[in-house]
Amino acid sequence: MADSSTFVVKAPFNDSPTGDCILQTPDGTQFVVHRLVLSLASPIWSDMFSLPQASEGASATRPVIPVEEDPETVEALLTMVYPLPPPRINSYDLAASLVQACDKYFIDVSRLDATLYKVFRTTAALEADPLGVYALAWRLRMDEEAKVASRYTHRLDLNDPKVQSDLIRRSGSVKSLVALWDLRLRRECALDNLTKLAEVMRCSDDPTCYQHGTQYLAYDSHWLADVHLRAKYSAKQALLEPYPRCDSLEQFFGVSLSGRNTCGGCQLIHEKKHANMARSVNVALDAYPQTITKCTGVIFIITLDARYGLGDFERHYSLSYIKKGQEVHRIWAQTTTPTSTFVVKPPFHRDSPGDCIIQTADGTQFVVYRVILSLASSVWNDMFSLPQSSEASSSERPIIPVDEDPETLEALLTMLYPMQPPRIESYDLAIKLVQACDK
């Protein structure tokens, strides 16, 4: 008996006519899904669907599979694996739940980078769980987000075994811990040079005014041995902030730099010199090590994301910008197969169990599933609704000719399928892919 739920399930998971399965959360919320999409996305779901189905667990011939995740997490997870615009992740808690669900169902977490990068940059998440944000950013190989998160880890005790094990577990790599240790070492080495800016010695030949000599320090010369240690300790505490600034030399370094006498001219010149020194400290802070250098071992590629200036193309897995009302021509026709040297990789090679073939101009054939293409594009959905020529099939699979080259088509299909995002390593391919999405 399903519990009552107030969560509103949105299309296409509320009542998809082609859906053949139902996922039910603990509160009774039901999502109508396609077993094919879930099977391609997760070996766990694939194994689920291979098990015998209980007759009482069905609704209108659709098997009901209970899941432990809450409705918000399930909706985000399904939106991520379907060829839809990216889910909107507005909280770090939901982001963490989504990553945990990906781990549970063996879904590639690299699909999450474009979805979560804004969440990882929110101050609330970074202050609430800096280690968690850093670990997830590292795991997703989000270099800039990992750098930002590392700014908030300065107060963590990296020698604590619990902190170490938690970081390694959540990031999936001991290199994430090594990167923070490297940051700590670089910060400690740079601290001595920064502290030297506080060591202002009395200089009698540098008068503050015409009547008095310079008296910067409020302690005698025999105290100067302690200046470095006190300034270093105070500066080290100030540098624990993610974005430290020096507004006051006395406050930043923990020492008094005011003159002993009450001469107005001396005090005025003191203040001016202190302001200049503070500016010098802030310049040094801009160069001070505050972040890790990079996510070690990551190979960076061009990704189709608004961060890289590709306009409204917002999602790796979406064709939401396809022009509506575009004329659809009947293309079911017998095609010849020119020679092609392009090697089609799984799951699109000719032995794949798809129900349709897309053929490029050079004869390269990609075996695909019509349901995934129909969900991604209204143009393809209209194509599949047209009558099929009896000659336009290969092992009972219709062949659809397209104008795109094999590299562009492979990237497009990889983008739509629930699999690791395509590697777009050239600007020309990126432009072709965007043009195909518009088409």
pLDDT confidence of residue 306: 32
Q: Mean pLDDT over residues 305-311, rounded?
A: 33
Decide if pLDDT at 355 tops 60.
yes
396 close to 86: Cβ distance less than 8 angstroms? no
Does residue 276 or residue 285 have the better pLDDT?
285
Q: Mean pLDDT over residues 138-157, rounded?
A: 89
Per the document, the length of the chain is 439
Query: Could you give the CA distance from residue 33 to residue 206 in angstroms, rounded to a whole number?
Result: 80
pLDDT confidence of residue 33: 93
pLDDT confidence of residue 202: 39
Mean pLDDT of the chain: 75
pLDDT confidence of residue 75: 94
Taking each helix axis from N to C end, the angle separating 175-195 and 130-139, rounded to the nearest 10 degrees, works out to 120
96-110, 151-165, 187-201, 254-268: least confident range: 254-268
pTM to 2 decimals? Answer: 0.61
Query: Could you give the CA distance from residue 66 to residue 28 in angstroms, rounded to a whole number?
Result: 9
Q: Mean pLDDT over residues 204-216, rounded?
A: 47
Does residue 174 or residue 310 have the better pLDDT?
174
pLDDT confidence of residue 115: 66
Exposed/middle/buried for residue 331 (C-beta within 10 Å: 0-12, 13-18, 19+):
middle
